[in-house]
Amino acid sequence: MVSASSSWSRALVQISPYTFSALGIAIAIGVSVLGAAWGIYITGSSLIGAAIKAPRITSKNLIRHNKLLVSLRLFVIISSSIMEHLVSCVIFCEAVAIYGVIVAIILQTKLESVPASQIYAPESLRAGYAIFASGIIVGFANLVCGLCVGIIGSSCALSDAQNSSLFVKILVIEIFGSALGLFGVIVGIIMSAQATWPSKTA
């Protein structure tokens, strides 16, 4: 029989709720940025490759001038070709990081100073756990959302390089994938509403 003093529940209760709150805020913004960066990496690598290999792009690059002019012409052609993909794919991935920043700011406003005698009160522990859970929900929801949008954006770029009529169809799927991050943000905000700290006069 394990004694109560050495149990996991006893150990968790001894951790300051401010520690849980700080971890929740860090996870919300850190994992969200990780998801955004991962999605942009997946989309961007396929996007550049598809833009270079697309026949309608390479056929436009038939000028024969000096190397600088050729490079500038290639840059302009590729930039104009992938601009619509950047707006639809990379911006969706970047929005995932913005969700994490917004929720981290909201969770930061939930922190309040309490007297030392009330730090381990049940209400303080509940507030710390609520902020921690909110950060985990938002962080990992945005991580999955970033990966989802990145993979769909990569497929969109490769498909559009072969058949431009597929862009709008895949864009609809990408919009539904980007909504996963919003679901996490909504649930995280609802969870953070439970973070109420004890009154200072208590």
Q: What is the pLDDT of residue 45?
A: 78
Better-predicted residue by pLDDT, 3 or 184 = 184
- For the residues 169-186, what does the mean pLDDT come to? 83
What token pair was written down for 29?
A: 């913004």
Q: Which residues touch 75 (CB under 8 Å, ≥6 apart)?
A: none
The pLDDT value recorded for residue 62 is 35
Asked whether the whole model's pTM tops 0.95, one would answer no
pLDDT(2) > 50? no
Q: Which of 10-19, 80-89, 159-168 has the lowest average pLDDT?
A: 80-89
More confident residue, 118 or 86: 118
Residue 68: pLDDT band with limits 50, 70, 90: very low
Digit-coded pLDDT (tens) for 95-128: 888 899 999 999 998 888 888 788 888 888 888 8
pLDDT band per the 50, 70, 90 thresholds, residue 12: confident
Q: What is the mean predicted confidence (pLDDT) over 92-96?
A: 83
Distance CA 119, CA 78 (A): 58
Query: Which has the higher per-residue pLDDT, 4 or 118?
Result: 118
**Angle at the Cα of 38 from the Cα atoms of 179 and 85, rounded to 5 degrees:** 65
Distance separating alpha carbons of residues 71 and 79, to the nearest angstrom:
12
Rama region for 22: left / alpha / beta (φ>0; ψ in -120 to 50; rest): alpha
* Angle at CA of residue 131, ends 126 and 136, nearest 5°: 125
Average pLDDT, the chain: 76
Could you report the per-residue pLDDT of 21-61, keeping only the tens digit for each? Answer: 999 999 999 999 999 889 888 887 777 776 666 544 333 33
For residue 111, the number of C-alpha atoms closer than 13 Å in the C-beta half-sphere is 15
Q: Which of 60, 94, 89, 90 is nearest to 77 (CA)?
A: 60
Residues 6+ apart with CB under 8 A from 84: 167
CA 117 vs. chain centroid, Å, equals 38
